[in-house]
Amino acid sequence: MTNIDLNVNKARIFCEKKGARFTTLREKVYALLLQQDGAIGAYELLDSLKLTESAAKPATVYRTLDFLLEFGLVHKLESTNAFVACHHFDCNHPVQFLICDSCGEVQEIQSLGLKDTLDKQAMSVGFKVAKQTIEAHGTCAACK
Amino acid sequence: MTNIDLNVNKARIFCEKKGARFTTLREKVYALLLQQDGAIGAYELLDSLKLTESAAKPATVYRTLDFLLEFGLVHKLESTNAFVACHHFDCNHPVQFLICDSCGEVQEIQSLGLKDTLDKQAMSVGFKVAKQTIEAHGTCAACK
DNA sequence: GGATAAGTGTTATTATTTATCAGTCAACTC
DNA sequence: GAGTTGACTGATAAATAATAACACTTATCC
Ligand SMILES: [Zn+2]
Ligand SMILES: [Zn+2]
Ligand SMILES: [Zn+2]
Ligand SMILES: [Zn+2]
């Protein structure tokens, strides 16, 4: 059983627990994202999906992504309009990304300290944070 | 002399110092952004610009924004695809945003601590940060 | 004043995302 | 198990966001 299959199974169980339906389509899209090295755009994802779901349309992908985003199975990179599978959807983590502009690798980090720093900075001016977007572009260790 | 005029003048001098041309078009666009409460999308900006530059097209706005972004006179909010004027372009600051989802206000903060925290987190996994995107959505002090 | 580069006008196209309505399928009730 | 309900998907269209390409104009430099 591959690593991807393991993640997909974990996702299915996670969804069942939440009373959400992990349909074939959602599973396929999530699996495609897991296969991906880095992040992938919606239309690139659509092209991959079409290989097994020839009827897929943009709305198909975006609706499925909406579901996956809602349940935290996938994250969106706002700075690149791309999507990346999450491997730790079951541990309620803060999310930050390191995006290598050289090789495209996307590394997800979960720094509680970073999250708290932003929350506190905001709080100090009376701002209550609901959602953070933290993305760093630069050069990964392998590319240096 | 209004506050906006002061900022525009500061911007002109800043550009001259850098050997960049602060043309009428660039000035108009920057002034429009300064007038704005929060952030504004490129096409909304285009509509405003058309009031005095009826020939303006999307490319007009995007090119002008490219210039303003390059020289730090304007920032882009990646999470909303919107643009906001910077008032401190001459002080080489880190940039983070607090975006109120209730009233649309965009507050720019310049936390060196926050920037350093992210830089260090990245460094600890061998990642060299070139550019940060830090945006918090939530509720501002006035809206609470 | 002519060469050069930067800036702008103009048209078209691509990329990204959402809206809408109709049909299908799963779960729940009786 | 048939019927009802709501969630999911198919399909078409449109809105929003961004870029490409080429011609023309203007400023700068020598
Ligand atoms: Zn994650
Ligand atoms: Zn890399
Ligand atoms: Zn700024
Ligand atoms: Zn507010």
- Condensed to tens digits (0 to 9), the pLDDT of residues B111-143 reads 999 999 999 999 999 999 999 999 999 999 999
CA distances from A34 to A14, A66, A109 (A): 16, 16, 17
Residue A54: burial class (beta carbons within 10 Å; 0-12, 13-18, 19+): exposed
Contact flag A127-B113 (C-beta cutoff 8 Å)? no
Cα A56 to Cα B90: distance, rounded to the nearest angstrom: 49
Whether the per-residue pLDDT at B24 is higher than 80: the answer is yes
Over range A47-67, report the average pLDDT: 97
Query: How many other CB atoms are there within 10 angstroms of residue B22's CB atom?
Result: 21
Q: List CB contacts (< 8 A) between B133 and chain A.
A: 78-79, 133-137
Strand partners, B96: B109
Pairwise CA distance, residues B73 & B85, whole Å: 6
Binding residues of B for Zn(2+), by number, are 100, 103, 140, 143
pLDDT for A92: 87
Name the burial class of residue B41, with classes exposed (0-12), middle (13-18) and buried (19+) by CB atoms within 10 angstroms of its CB: middle
Average pLDDT score over residue span B39-43: 98
| C-beta of residue A33 within 8 angstroms of C-beta of residue A106 | no
Give the containing element (helix H, strand E) for B62: helix B58-70
What is the model's pLDDT at position B1? Answer: 76
**What tens digit of pLDDT does each residue of A111-143 get?**
999 999 999 999 999 999 999 999 999 999 999
Between the CA atoms of B55, B65, B104 and A89, what dihedral angle is there, to the nearest 10 degrees? Answer: 130
**How many angstroms is it from A73 CA to the middle of ligand 1?**
7
Label residue A2 by pLDDT band (50, 70, 90).
confident
For residue A96, name the pLDDT band (cuts at 50, 70, 90): very high
Q: Which of B34, B38, B35, B33 is nearest to B46 (CA)?
A: B33
Integer Cα distance of B88 and B67 in angstroms: 16
In order of their start, the domains of chain B are 3-85 (1.10.10.10), 95-143 (3.30.1490.190)
Rounded Cα gap, residues A58 and A46, in angstroms: 7
Give B109's contacts in chain A (Cβ within 8 Å). Answer: 121-122, 125
What local confidence, expressed as pLDDT, does residue A1 receive? 76
Give B43 CA → C19 C1' in Å: 20
Q: Do A117 and B121 touch (CB under 8 A)?
A: no
Report, as an integer, the average pLDDT of A30-54: 96
- What's the confidence (pLDDT) of residue A119? 98
Q: Residues within 5 Å of ion ligand 3 by Cβ?
A: B 86
> In terms of C-beta density within 10 A (0-12 exposed, 13-18 middle, 19 or more buried), how is residue A77 classed?
buried
The Cα–Cα gap between B87 and A130 comes to 26
C22 C1' to B101 CA distance, Å? 34
Residue of least CA–C1' distance to D27: B21
- pTM (predicted TM-score): 0.95
Amino acid A98: pLDDT: 98
Scanning the structure block, which residue is given the tokens 């058309």? Answer: B50
Question: Quick one: average pLDDT of B50-76?
Answer: 97
Interatomic CA distance for residues A108 and A106, integer angstroms: 6
Mean pLDDT, range B46-55, rounded to an integer: 97
The overall average pLDDT reported for chain A is 96
CB atoms within 10 A of CB B102: 11
